[in-house]
Amino acid sequence: MRLIKLKLSSFRNLKNLELVPGQKFNVFYGKNGQGKTNLLESIYLLATMKSFKQAKNSDLICFGAEFALVKGTVERDLVRREIALLVERQGKKAKVDAKLASRVDDLFGNLNVVLFTPEEIGMVRGGPESRRRYLDRAVFTCDLGYLKAYHDYAKILKNRNALLKHNDTSGLEVWSERLADSAVVVINRRLAHLREIERLFQRFYSEISGNDEAVEMEYRLHGVDRELFGQEPRAALVEGLKAHAAEERRRLTTAVGPHRDDLSFTLNGRPARSFASQGQQRSIVLALKMAEIELIRKTFDAPPVLLLDDMTSELDRERNGNLMEFLRKREMQVFITTTSLDNIALEGSDEQATFRISEGQISQPEVIG
Ligand SMILES: Nc1ncnc2c1ncn2[C@@H]1O[C@H](COP(=O)(O)OP(=O)(O)OP(=O)(O)O)[C@@H](O)[C@H]1O
């Protein structure tokens, strides 16, 4: 999969931008606050209709403008498609080859992206939300049904939370059962994804770290009995909700379900969150991303586009080099942002297009190699 052309109008500080990226490594450099992350955000939006910064529509529109327009030509298996996304304050509208795409599903598989941000590097150590966010994004890219399952769950959760908030216990039991049904679907899809990437993740971790540390990942059910979940998942959720009834009355919110679950990593049996060194934690995230790329390649028979935001300064030279080598072998199109070209371990023969971004404007590329 490749992005052949990108055209932005009034997207954040990128008022009028046209880009014809190279086939492989595209490096965007410039000082802080010039629009590098915004550029990656626009590509991410084209693929998913969502901002990776959890931004509102109005944040995406250039100050003073009425709407933003993101247009891209993408290519997969030699078939080109035009994707156009109109962002207005009240909503987004997408078209694929001039046909209205009414749901995100219609965009599915045209452009797959894997995102790698400094925020995600902190994921092993940080709070569970960032790990859930990572997981949800990763599952959605390969599993079309996941988004619907996730939205169904979110709707039920919202209704159940509204009852708790108003101390209205009349319909609570019915909503608990609905929540349990929907939660099982979400959790099972997450678990299926993790099963698919587990081996890859372990293989890439040992390749990056160059030693035989045993790395494991585990899906942690919050407030739900693991064993019972293995046998009767729905009953386990219902039981979990019952057991947390007092906490829910106190906190006025649903205490159990995939919105509270977590993903944990262990190194040689010890929790990576507290025991792994910074380097080991970075290797874990890197191995996860590599596994995700590999799974997408297998699922779609085409590699995704990789968006690397300001990562280069986060990875040491060796890990950076490992990553670039991995990407080179897979013939992937990569978009990298950096404040300094010295951060990129891309010396070698690969084609590299370099763009300078300054105050939302892009300079013509210099092709190196
Ligand atoms: N809706 C908007 N309209 C106009 N400008 C905006 C809008 N949203 C953000 N900006 C501007 O975009 C700039 C931030 O761009 P971006 O986050 O892409 O920076 P960057 O080049 O990635 O910098 P860094 O290296 O610090 O990450 C800021 O100057 C901000 O004021």
Of 253, 272, 297, the position where a domain reaches its end is 297
Please tell me the distance between residue 49's alpha carbon and the centre of ligand 1 in angstroms: 19
For ligand 1, atom 29: residue with the closest CA:
33
Q: Is 35 annotated as a binding residue?
A: yes
Of 239, 266, 297, the position where a domain reaches its end is 297
Tell me the residue range of the domain where 85 lies. 1-112+302-369
Cβ–Cβ under 8 Å, residues 185 and 210: no
Residue 364, pLDDT > 70, answer: no
Residue with more model confidence, 314 or 356: 356
Residues 9-19 have pLDDT tens digits of 999 999 999 99
Q: How many CB atoms lie within 10 A of CB 144?
A: 12
pTM reported for the whole predicted model = 0.90
For residue 369, the model assigns a pLDDT of 45
What average pLDDT does range 283-294 have in this prediction? Answer: 92
Q: Is 30 annotated as a binding residue?
A: yes
Query: Quick check: is 119 in a domain?
Result: no
352 shares a domain with 262: no
Please tell me the distance between residue 184's alpha carbon and the centre of ligand 1 in angstroms: 40
Residue 321, pLDDT > 90, answer: no
CATH number for position 139: 1.20.1050.90
- List of E strands, the chain: 2-11, 14-19, 25-29, 67-76, 79-88, 91-96, 99-101, 113-116, 215-220, 262-267, 270-271, 305-308, 334-338, 352-358, 361-362, 366-368
Please tell me the distance between residue 359's alpha carbon and the centre of ligand 1 in angstroms: 9
For ligand 1, atom 17: residue with the closest CA:
37
Kindly state if the Cβ of 35 falls inside 6 Å of ligand 1. Answer: yes
For residue 366, the model assigns a pLDDT of 57
Total domain count, the chain: 2
Please tell me the distance between residue 12's alpha carbon and the centre of ligand 1 in angstroms: 7
Residue with more model confidence, 8 or 208: 8
Q: Is 32 annotated as a binding residue?
A: yes
369 shares a domain with 258: no
Please tell me the distance between residue 35's alpha carbon and the centre of ligand 1 in angstroms: 5
pLDDT band at 107 (very low <50, low <70, confident <90, very high): confident
263 shares a domain with 135: yes
For residue 331, the model assigns a pLDDT of 82
Query: Quick check: is 31 in a domain?
Result: yes
Query: Quick check: is 341 in a domain?
Result: yes
DSSP 238-306: HHHHHHTHHHHHHHTS--SSTTT-EEEEEETTEEHHHHS-HHHHHHHHHHHHHHHHHHHHHHHSS--EE
For ligand 1, atom 14: residue with the closest CA:
33
Q: Model ipTM?
A: 0.95
For residue 314, the model assigns a pLDDT of 66
Report the mean per-residue pLDDT for the chain.
91
Kindly state if the Cβ of 63 falls inside 6 Å of ligand 1. Answer: yes
Residue 31, pLDDT > 70, answer: yes
Share of the chain above pLDDT 90, in %: 71
Q: Is 165 annotated as a binding residue?
A: no
Q: Is 360 annotated as a binding residue?
A: no
332 shares a domain with 214: no
Of 297, 329, 347, the position where a domain reaches its end is 297
Among 28, 36, 38, 57, the mutation site with the greatest number of ligand 1 atoms within 8 A of its Cβ is 38
For residue 279, the model assigns a pLDDT of 84
Name the one residue in this structure whose structure tokens are 């550029």. Answer: 39
CA 125 to chain centroid, in Å, comes to 17
Q: Is 26 annotated as a binding residue?
A: no
281 shares a domain with 337: no
225 shares a domain with 358: no
288 shares a domain with 326: no
d(CA 96, CA 72): 10
197 shares a domain with 104: no
CA 37 to chain centroid, in Å, comes to 15
CATH number for position 97: 3.40.50.300
For ligand 1, atom 25: residue with the closest CA:
32
158 shares a domain with 31: no
Please tell me the distance between residue 119's alpha carbon and the centre of ligand 1 in angstroms: 16
133 shares a domain with 108: no
Query: Quick check: is 238 in a domain?
Result: yes
Residues 175-221 have pLDDT tens digits of 999 999 999 999 999 999 999 999 999 999 998 887 788 999 999 99
Kindly state if the Cβ of 34 falls inside 6 Å of ligand 1. Answer: yes
For residue 350, the model assigns a pLDDT of 61
Q: Is 33 annotated as a binding residue?
A: yes
Q: Which of 31-40, 117-126, 192-201, 284-293 has the lowest mean pLDDT?
A: 117-126
270 shares a domain with 195: yes
Share of the chain above pLDDT 70, in %: 95
Kindly state if the Cβ of 369 falls inside 6 Å of ligand 1. Answer: no
For residue 252, the model assigns a pLDDT of 95
d(CA 290, CA 3): 20
At 20, list the tokens.
Answer: 């014809």
Query: Quick check: is 118 in a domain?
Result: no
What average pLDDT does range 114-133 have in this prediction? Answer: 90
Residues 140-151 have pLDDT tens digits of 988 989 999 999
What average pLDDT does range 54-64 have in this prediction? Answer: 96
Kindly state if the Cβ of 312 falls inside 6 Å of ligand 1. Answer: no
d(CA 193, CA 178): 23
259 shares a domain with 314: no
